[in-house]
Amino acid sequence: MENMNSYNIPGEICNKINKWLLKFPSNEKKPAIIYGLHQIQKESKYIQSAHVDALAEFLNVEKIDVYEIAAFYSMFELDKVGKHTISVCTNVSCMLNGSDEILSYLEKKLKIKVGCSSDKFFLKDERECLAACAGAPMMQVNHKYYENLTKQKIDEIIRDLDDGR
Ligand code: FES
């Protein structure tokens, strides 16, 4: 986990966390840890120790409580990653419909291996079934589903992301 000197949680994120906390008894702050980490990651792309410290202070919980959650869940990135996160489903339906080929096409096209990142793209992992088997083969890009993938469709998706669409 990298560290920057310090981090102040932006007011907009503080407001969102405070709103989220209204769902729980006033002395319960831990249920907002995951939510808070999500919001911070959305803004910063990955979690650094200064983020953990700031969120712990904001919620008045122990730093280790925040750190354990950030380190446990694979949805949180603790190392610097590219702007767009891609996960390809390689479970049975997708595998039978060519996910291996899709994955190696992406590796070649993005010039990165699974688990690696460039400045722009993070080819995060091979996923277990993402419950979109009817659209196999499929992948998730920044949590959005893309189904019935072909090489041509991937070219279009990557081009749109490159263009900032
Ligand atoms: S096997 Fe890929 S979405 Fe179900």
Residue 15 has pLDDT above 80, yes or no: yes
Q: Give the Å distance between the CA of 16 and the centre of ligand 1.
A: 33
Q: Which two tokens stand for residue 85?
A: 């996160």
Inside any domain, residue 2: no
Q: How far apart are the C-alpha atoms of 150 and 121, rounded to whole Å?
A: 19
Buried b (16+ CB within 10 A) or exposed e, 98-126: ebeebbebbeeebebebeebeeebbbbeb
* CATH for 31: 1.10.10.1590
Q: What is the pTM of this model?
A: 0.77
- With the most atoms of ligand 1 within 8 angstroms of its CB, the residue from 126, 138, 144, 146 to mutate is 138
Q: How far are the Cα atoms of 58, 99, 153 from residue 146, in angstroms, in the given order?
A: 36, 13, 9
Rounding to the nearest 10 degrees, give the CA dihedral for residues 67, 72, 75, 79. Answer: 60
| Residues in the chain, overall count | 165
Which amino acid does the sequence have at 95? M
Residues 95 and 52 in one domain: no
Last residue of a domain, one of 23, 51, 72: 72
Which ligand 1 atom is at minimum distance from the Cα of 130? Answer: 3
Domain region containing 52: 11-72
Residues 94 and 151 in one domain: yes
Last residue of a domain, one of 44, 72, 100: 72
Helices (H), strands (E): how many in the chain?
Answer: 7, 5
Q: Give the Å distance between the CA of 83 and the centre of ligand 1.
A: 24
- With the most atoms of ligand 1 within 8 angstroms of its CB, the residue from 100, 102, 126, 133 to mutate is 133
Q: Which two tokens stand for residue 99?
A: 């996910």
Inside any domain, residue 124: yes
Residues 64 and 32 in one domain: yes
Q: How far apart are the C-alpha atoms of 139 and 151, rounded to whole Å?
A: 12
Which ligand 1 atom is at minimum distance from the Cα of 92? Answer: 1
Q: Give the Å distance between the CA of 12 and the centre of ligand 1.
A: 36
Pocket of ligand 1 (CB under 6 A): 89, 91-94, 129-133, 136, 138
> Quick count: other Cβ atoms within 10 Å of Cβ 18?
11
Number of domains in the chain: 2
Per-residue pLDDT of 52-98, as tens digits, reads 999 999 999 999 999 999 999 988 999 889 989 999 999 999 999 99
Residues 127 and 93 in one domain: yes
* CATH for 142: 3.40.30.10
Band (2; pLDDT cuts 50, 70, 90): low
